[in-house]
Chains A and B, each alone.
Chain A
């Protein structure tokens, strides 16, 4: 499985798809967008921070674990750091697999694990 993890302080521009295998039959993309209301209060955006070396290590661990259960060919994970304005993408994930079900399962579990274990934090004020 080919994996790529990126943290960026700029607008996320997902790279064009360049499939590593002609056996890829499903490609899923997930974007997490910053919403205007945080706990019922209007905000201009969110600030993100990460413990980046550990976040990378945790993501690698999660990718390996999920790859053993739901075979996928490619995973691209991009997370923004610092200030992300309302309406912009804070998280982008692309998963490519031979069949749709593996990719759908991988994606669902990855997002849940991200929100439980990967050391990334958001807050509404710096």
Chain B
């Protein structure tokens, strides 16, 4: 199964891609999926993750999902 990783703002520069489709298993967590794709990248405490366009937990299994987005601190307005 494939999931598309989306990056925004500074995470796009840090990871070097805007989106990337990768293989995944539903029991994997966002942190595990990201570690496989970018082992050097640490989201730390400031970067949130969204699964299928909803904020999610870095350490909870993604289940059936199509999108995993990295959400750095937002600054709209």
**A binding-site residues for B, Cβ under 8 Å:** 32, 48-51, 53-55, 57, 79, 90-91, 111, 114-123
In contact, B76 and A120 (Cβ under 8 angstroms): yes
Q: Report the Cα distance A51→B6, complex, angstroms.
A: 9
Size bracket of the B interface: 10 to 19
List of A residues within 8 angstroms of B53 by Cβ: 51, 53-54, 57
- Bound Cα distance A122, B53 (Å): 20
Name B residues whose Cβ lies closer than 8 Å to a Cβ of A. Answer: 6, 8-9, 50, 53-55, 69, 71-72, 74-77
Please name 27 pairs of A and B residues whose Cβ atoms are closer than 8 Å in the assembled complex, sorted by A.
A48-B76, A49-B9, A51-B6, A51-B50, A51-B69, A53-B53, A54-B50, A54-B53, A57-B53, A79-B76, A90-B77, A91-B76, A91-B77, A111-B77, A115-B74, A115-B77, A116-B74, A117-B55, A117-B74, A119-B8, A119-B69, A120-B76, A120-B77, A121-B8, A121-B74, A122-B75, A123-B9
